[in-house]
Amino acid sequence: MTRADIVVRGRRRRPRTTILVLAVAAVVAVVLSVAVGSVPIHPGVVVGVVADHLIPWDTGTSFTATQAQIVWEFRLPRALLGFLVGAALAVAGAVLQAVVRNPLADPFVFGVSSGASVAAVAMLTLATGSLATVSVPVAAFFGALLTTLLVFLLAQRRGRVTPNRLVLAGVAMSYLLSSVTSYLVLRASTPGGGVSEVLSWLAGSLAAADWGDLGLPAGVLVVATVLLVLLSRILNAFLTGDETAVSLGVDVGRGRLVFFVITSLLVGVAVAVSGAIGFVGLIIPHAMRFIVGTDHRWVLPASAFAGGLLLVVVDIAARLLLAPTELPVGLLTAAVGAPFFLWLMRRLGRVET
């Protein structure tokens, strides 16, 4: 091995610093997200209102009751929901890419998001009255879980599940479920069928957020991310290939199933509260690997903060660009995400060869 022909290309890797910076940036973005809008509120007032709610003694900041209401009742839940959804999608994407060793994997490729969408749209268009509002998140979650398990079963042959078959089964399922969703939407396109509500949900929106929406995604995100970080070495082992992973004592079949169930939980709750928001789960993990390396111990928390940050920022843009009209946030993530992804792909390609 001659040392001379080796071009040392050391990446700058400061995972802890990166994660800290992302976390601080996410907090700043949330404050800014709450500050901007049709009634601008000074970031200092935003912090004051939040402090007033969180700290039991008088914080000495002054704000009007209207400001307090706008911050606490309307904008903060929305910003936090954006963070949670972005974080959940990014973590799910990172895990899916690892367990199938496919850099193009994300919750959409696997039909997980489509499964959640179909179930949620079915609820929105078919169920009536109070049943609908109660069951949409639950339906989306079970839609995601069922689709995940179905894709897993379809990809199975003689008890073995290979990454390629998983991707193919996921793509096929994704198209199938998208057509079902289209059918349901068309079916609802009758006067009073509620189609505009469904379409705006499908395009991905955080508009309807309130505090009641936050508990489930927050709980799932925290529990799932902690669990996944603890299992990060198993995720790393998946990248070495099935044979090597087995020789390392990893039960790859059971491992894939466990990771799939965890990701469908994350995607299910994210889609349930926000609709289909694409590209976050595809782009963020790549960007994070580029910065902190491929070790999932760092990729997962970095992806969580970066995904959350991205969605909060995109949501600010979605509200400002055509104000007072709001753009669906999913439309913007795709518009921003696709070119970024192509740029990243070309950049990565140049490095590797």
Measure Cα distances from 12 to 17, 22, 229, 295, 344 in Å.
11, 16, 22, 14, 17
d(CA 327, CA 313) in angstroms, rounded, equals 13
Please select the residue that binds another protein; options are 35, 234, 284, 310, rule is CB under 8 A.
234
Angle at 172 between CA 349 and CA 87, to 5 degrees: 60
Q: H or E segment at 160? A: strand 160-161
Please select the residue that binds another protein; options are 71, 78, 81, 97, rule is CB under 8 A.
97
Contact flag: residue 164 with another protein (CB under 8 A): no
Contact flag: residue 153 with another protein (CB under 8 A): no
Q: Least CB distance from residue 91 to another protein, whole Å?
A: 16
d(CA 113, CA 111) in angstroms, rounded, equals 5
Contact region with another protein (CB under 8 A), list: 3-11, 269-277, 305-313, 321-329 = 3-11
Q: Least CB distance from residue 227 to another protein, whole Å?
A: 8
Contact flag: residue 241 with another protein (CB under 8 A): yes
Q: Do 319 and 326 touch, CB atoms closer than 8 A?
A: yes
Contact flag: residue 15 with another protein (CB under 8 A): no
Contact region with another protein (CB under 8 A), list: 36-44, 113-121, 122-130, 293-301 = 293-301
With CB under 8 A as the rule, give the number of residues binding another protein: 38
Sign of the C-alpha dihedral, residues 216, 222, 226, 232? Answer: positive
Contact flag: residue 3 with another protein (CB under 8 A): yes
In this complex, which beta carbon is closest to another protein, that of residue 118 or of residue 245? 245
Q: Least CB distance from residue 9 to another protein, whole Å?
A: 6
Q: Do 318 and 92 touch, CB atoms closer than 8 A?
A: no
Q: Least CB distance from residue 11 to another protein, whole Å?
A: 6
d(CA 24, CA 333) in angstroms, rounded, equals 22
d(CA 238, CA 207) in angstroms, rounded, equals 38
Contact region with another protein (CB under 8 A), list: 82-90, 110-118, 292-300, 333-341 = 292-300
Of the CA atoms within 13 Å of residue 273, those in its CB half-sphere come to: 29
d(CA 123, CA 141) in angstroms, rounded, equals 12
Dig out the tokens for 220 from the structure: 């799932």
Binding site for another protein (CB under 8 A): 1, 3, 6-11, 13, 97-98, 101-103, 158, 230-231, 233-234, 236-237, 239-241, 243-244, 246-251, 289, 293-295, 351-352
